[in-house]
């Protein structure tokens, strides 16, 4: 498994993480199979959130992982907080501290390697968040911190009040969600791809050594479904299959290789609980697409160059 530097540190993490959003749909033995498949492929990074399955995903993970032979220190375990489903976003100190205690209990852990704030809270008080982070770190409950779906200004605002460096920003990125790179190639134009919806965060991340974690790497839209083997995207799947045949892997690996080819050292979140899909996706970390192959996939996905 390809390894990348975590944020501004010298610590290395795998270029892929296993997202456990759907683990609530699995039995404990099935969850163990998925975790083991990821671990065997070099993916020793887990990404969770307190809202996944209403907390059930973390409960299943905790039960599964506690019975496995993998040592805790061999895994990097991350969770997210800040969403109160259907009610509000909440970055209050009280909510953050309470959520972490509940996460640790569900996952049967003494600490999290990383805590990520899930979606921007319009009422965020950066100094209050800083107090929560300091308390969690001093108590040994969280080692590192990050955010998810933050724009550049939001990221900089929060960072200005923290004593810790933010390591991560989770952002949607895939062959069918390419906004973070479209506008750069359509600079000084008035067409739709020229609109910057991501406040140039990918460039900011490269400049300031922030690890971008790409979520929904095989999805189109928000949660409409997968584009791989989807009849709605024949040209893209034809190109994926052509390269899959060349590199002797599955389409998942090629779609993953496309993300990891970007020089920003992106970490990709694999959200599948299917051991075969996990193993195939992991193979993408070993493939370095040529520039032409990368652009061929970009164009096959329905994008165009000015």
Catalytic residues: 52
- Give the mean pLDDT of 216-225: 88
Range of the domain at 217: 3-300
Single pTM value for the model: 0.95
**Predicted pLDDT at 290:** 98
Say if 276 falls within a structural domain: yes
Residue 183 has pLDDT above 80, yes or no: yes
In this structure, is residue 229 part of a structural domain?
A: yes
Please list the residues that pair with 225 across neighbouring strands.
Answer: 220
Looking at the predicted structure, is the pLDDT value of residue 222 above 80? no
pLDDT in tens, 38-49: 999 999 999 999
Q: pLDDT band at residue 164, thresholds of 50, 70 and 90?
A: very high
CATH of the domain at 95: 3.20.20.100
Question: 246-288, pLDDT tens digit by residue?
Answer: 999 999 999 999 999 999 999 999 999 999 999 999 999 999 9
Residue 305 lies in a domain: no
pLDDT at 88: 96
Q: What is the pLDDT of residue 173?
A: 96
Mean pLDDT across 72-83: 98
Please give the tally of structural domains in the chain: 1
Q: What is the mean predicted confidence (pLDDT) over 235-241?
A: 98
- Residue 221: its pLDDT value, please? 83
**Is 306 part of any domain?**
no
% residues pLDDT > 90 (the chain): 96
Which pLDDT score is estimated for 64?
98
Give the pLDDT mean for 86-109: 97
């Amino acid at each position: 498994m390809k390894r990348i530097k975590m944020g501004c540190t010298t610590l290395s993490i795998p270029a892929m993480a296993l997202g456990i959003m759907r683990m609530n749909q699995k039995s404990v033995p099935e969850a163990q199979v998925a975790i083991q498949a990821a671990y065997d492929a070099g993916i020793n990074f887990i990404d969770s959130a307190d809202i996944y399955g209403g907390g059930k995903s973390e409960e299943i993970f905790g039960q599964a992982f506690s019975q496995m032979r993998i040592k805790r220190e061999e895994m990097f375990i991350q969770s997210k907080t800040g969403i109160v489903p259907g009610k509000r976003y909440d970055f209050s100190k009280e909510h953050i501290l309470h959520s972490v205690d509940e996460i640790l209990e569900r996952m049967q852990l003494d600490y999290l390697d990383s805590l990520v704030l899930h979606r921007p809270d319009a009422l965020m008080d950066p100094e209050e968040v800083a107090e929560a982070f300091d308390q969690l770190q001093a108590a040994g409950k969280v080692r590192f911190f990050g955010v998810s779906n933050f724009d550049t200004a939001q990221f900089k605002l929060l960072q200005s009040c923290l004593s810790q460096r933010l390591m991560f920003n989770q952002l949607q990125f895939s062959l069918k969600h390419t906004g973070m790179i479209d506008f750069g190639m359509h600079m000084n134009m008035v067409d739709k791809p020229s609109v910057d919806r991501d406040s140039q965060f990918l460039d900011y991340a490269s400049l300031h050594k922030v690890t971008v974690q790409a979520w929904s790497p095989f999805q189109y839209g928000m949660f409409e479904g997968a584009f791989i083997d989807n009849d709605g995207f024949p040209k893209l799947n034809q190109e994926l299959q052509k390269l899959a045949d060349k590199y002797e892997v599955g389409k998942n690996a090629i779609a993953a290789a496309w993300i990891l080819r970007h020089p920003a050292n992106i970490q990709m979140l694999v959200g599948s609980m299917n051991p075969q899909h996990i193993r195939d996706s992991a193979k993408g970390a070993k493939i370095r697409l040529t520039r032409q192959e990368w652009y061929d996939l970009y164009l096959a996905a329905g994008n165009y160059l000015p």
